[in-house]
Amino acid sequence: MPRTGITHSSSMWRSTALVTLGVVALALLGGGWAATRTLLAQHDRNDRQRLGGIVGQFAPVLETRLQLADALVRDLTAGDAAGDEDTLRTRLQRSGNFLGVALVPWSRVGSGNEPAQLTDWPVALHDFSAAERLELSTGQSVLEEVAAEPGPADIYLAHMLLVDGQRQIGFFKITPNWLWRGLDELPNDVALAVLQPAKRVILRGPRLPAQVVANLSGAEGDARLPLQPAALSWRQGAASWHAAVLQIHLSGGLAGSAWSIAALDNYEVSAFVVPFLPGA
């Protein structure tokens, strides 16, 4: 006699087993995908916090150095410089914070004529605006940036002083090794950039493509949280980037455009996910 009952029971068992295995497989896949998403989200948060911590560390350092440079200029130019440009330059170089100074008569600054050409260095500083002339005339220093290739921009402090009773504007060139010291002590996957609001790149890390820095030009922090870095993410070609941007605020007698400092890294998702795939 045919064993119909046994055959039917075996077929039912196989069908049930296949359905059960399918359900288990789907559950495992779903759980693995959920676990991977959780890990990615946590890694994303950790990376943003790390970049925010880096800019939060370096922003006050730059602020302090700029304020110190301004204080030194004020101290060295108090009253009548009572000497000549060479004497003032020697005093500045002893401090180690400045490469030198060039003096331009006040009558030539902001007068609508050609920008004052500093003969000491092959650069020309732009003509001062009416607001900047007012700031200089009231004893403030104006921060100026002049693009330089290769390397970071040349940074100057413009300050009014008296030489033999005559008003002059001194362009004090800050020593770059002193100003940027320590900014290269970063993890290998992180690069720093410093920008000026007019989309002028002041400093760009050696491993950082210029096209990537261009994405930071319009980055602004939350006005309600001025001390909190702004977090950015974007894709550039095949690469994904994370950045934390924090504005450096000028204070005291130092005027000029505020800078923004950014920490960036190339966010390689695959390098993080692949090791977890077998387990997932």
Residues 76 and 172 occupy one common structural domain: yes
Residue 266 lies in a domain: yes
The one-character DSSP state at 257 is P
Residues 122 and 188 occupy one common structural domain: no
Residue 215 lies in a domain: yes
Residues 153 and 224 occupy one common structural domain: no
Count CA atoms within 13 Å of residue 46 on its CB side: 7
Residue 23 lies in a domain: no
Write the DSSP string, 82-117. -S-HHHHHHHHHHHTSEEEEEEEEGGGSSSSSSPPE
Domain count, the chain: 2
Determine if the pTM surpasses 0.85.
Answer: no
We report the CATH number of the domain holding residue 105 as 3.30.450
Residues 168 and 211 occupy one common structural domain: no
Single out the residue in 177, 201, 218 at which a domain terminates: 177
Instruction: Look up the domain containing 162 and give its range.
Output: 69-177
The one-character DSSP state at 211 is H
Residues 76 and 124 occupy one common structural domain: yes
Residues 223 and 171 occupy one common structural domain: no
Residues 207 and 247 occupy one common structural domain: yes
- Beta bridge partners of residue 105, listed in sequence order: 168
Residues 114 and 160 occupy one common structural domain: yes
Single out the residue in 177, 202, 234 at which a domain terminates: 177
> Which parts of 126-175 are beta strand (E)?
141-146, 154-163, 166-174
Q: CB-based contacts of 8: which residues, under 8 Å, 6+ apart? A: none
Sign of the CA dihedral running 24, 26, 31, 32: positive
Averaged pLDDT, groups of 10, the chain, 280 residues long: 58 68 63 53 68 88 92 82 67 81 79 56 66 88 81 88 85 91 80 79 80 67 61 79 85 82 77 51
Q: Could you tell me the CA-to-CA distances from 182 to 57, 128, 185, 270 in Å, in that order? A: 11, 32, 5, 31
Single out the residue in 137, 160, 177 at which a domain terminates: 177
Q: Which two tokens stand for residue 257?
A: 């455009």
Amino acid at 259: W
Q: CA 66 to CA 179: how far, in whole Å?
A: 8
Q: Could you tell me the CA-to-CA distances from 14 to 5, 8, 18, 21 in Å, in that order? A: 14, 10, 6, 10
Residue 42 lies in a domain: no
Residue 127 lies in a domain: yes
Residues 80 and 170 occupy one common structural domain: yes
Residue 46 lies in a domain: no
Residue 45 lies in a domain: no
Q: Which two tokens stand for residue 176?
A: 């770059």
Give residue 81's pLDDT: 57
Residues 79 and 168 occupy one common structural domain: yes
78-83's contacts with Cβ under 8 Å and 24+ in sequence apart are 79/162, 80/162, 80/163, 80/164, 80/165, 81/161, 81/162, 81/163, 82/163, 82/164, 83/163
Residues 187 and 173 occupy one common structural domain: no
Q: Could you tell me the CA-to-CA distances from 23 to 1, 12, 26, 35 in Å, in that order? A: 37, 16, 5, 18
Residues 204 and 172 occupy one common structural domain: no
Q: CA 129 to CA 263: how far, in whole Å?
A: 32
